Amino acid sequence: MRAVVLEEFGSPLVLRDIEKPTAGPGQALVRIGASGVNPLDAKIRAGKAAHARRTLPAVLGLDLAGVVEEVGAGVDGLAPGDEVFGMTGGVGDLQGSLAEYAAVDARLLARRPSSLGVREAAALPLVFITAWEGLVDRARVRAGQKVLVHGGAGGIGQVAVQIARARGAEVFATASAPRLPVVEGLGATPIDYAATSVDEYVAEHTGGEGFDVVLDTVGGPVLDASFNAVRTYTGHVVSALGWGTHSLAPLSFRGASYSGVFTLLPLLTGRGREHHGEIMREAAALAEAGSLTPVLDPRRFGLTDVADAHAAVESGTARGRIVVDVA
């Protein structure tokens, strides 16, 4: 089969023929239709993602959508011909999705809903799982709450806004001035983070009380800002990028809570993979209900253009999720 291979960190990706895998016990062999591209993929390629524990040579790509070609022993609920999607590899020693086929842990997969095309489905897994683990698994977001999403126009942010609104919350989202229409179009109240201070938007939108849930998708100073924006006692800050050194004093003085999300753990450890499949089924249900629509960048890339797809992600010019067409 054809696959895009990283042979050395920092080196160009190579399109070449490698052996087609077969489905082992508990696995499904998926004929890949599309591969979602994440900033993490570019960081792995550059050798700047030690937390991904990627072994080389490697096929990158975390997210896929495709069709089941065969299933291994012990797989229930999936059969050849099923259209599926999920976050299935690209880290550790797991083959990624920039290939024509992948043998993946069947527990990570869900059936693709008819409301999503192959490219739309491939754009969702990592960002949806991250947002769901933060907002639902950790913060238990619910109706009547005010939720602030930092980076609302980004990949995780756009999905987070839709999840929180689907669960009945009132949603606010920070973005740069040119991207404010994006978050407004998703149904969130836009906040220009460059023109408005934390104290100002907390006062304007919460009467100075703070937000019930704050989701940080940016890290660094934005996580510090989150500690200053959360509600006293009952507030909950969740971050997907809480890897720096931060003062917890603002959070402690509010008596609020903090949770971190590390979406790669089930892939790296083998523990919790069933839950990732469950989350993907939640994504499918929201999409079928009309409550989840991934925003795609209009540019098209194939296996011969993966370097350009990575460059589009790294440049910050993408106006939606970048997807590589594999089939």
pLDDT of 159 > 90? The answer is: yes
Query: pLDDT over 70 for what percent of the chain?
Result: 100
Average pLDDT over residues 193-207: 97
Nearest to 322 by CA among 112, 174, 154: 154
How does residue 319 score in pLDDT terms, banded at 50, 70 and 90?
confident
pLDDT of 144 > 90? The answer is: yes
Specify the pLDDT at position 317: 79
Average pLDDT over residues 290-300: 95
pLDDT digits (tens, 9 = 90+) for 219-236: 999 999 999 999 999 999
Average pLDDT over residues 111-130: 98
How does residue 316 score in pLDDT terms, banded at 50, 70 and 90?
confident
pLDDT of 318 > 90? The answer is: no
Query: pLDDT over 90 for what percent of the chain?
Result: 97
Specify the pLDDT at position 131: 98
Average pLDDT over residues 291-313: 95
Q: In whole angstroms, give the CA distance from residue 20 to residue 2.
A: 9
Specify the pLDDT at position 6: 97
Query: Do 116 and 294 touch, CB atoms closer than 8 A?
Result: yes
pLDDT of 248 > 90? The answer is: yes
How does residue 200 score in pLDDT terms, banded at 50, 70 and 90?
very high
**All residues at 6 or more sequence positions from 239 whose CB lies less than 8 Å from its CB, including other chains:** 134, 215, 216, 217, 219, 223, 226, 258, 259, 260, 261
Cross-strand pairs, 321: 296
How does residue 49 score in pLDDT terms, banded at 50, 70 and 90?
very high
Query: Do 188 and 201 touch, CB atoms closer than 8 A?
Result: no
Average pLDDT over residues 146-161: 97
Nearest to 257 by CA among 226, 221, 218: 226
Specify the pLDDT at position 59: 98
**All residues at 6 or more sequence positions from 117 whose CB lies less than 8 Å from its CB, including other chains:** none
Mean pLDDT across the chain: 96
pLDDT of 315 > 90? The answer is: no
Specify the pLDDT at position 230: 98
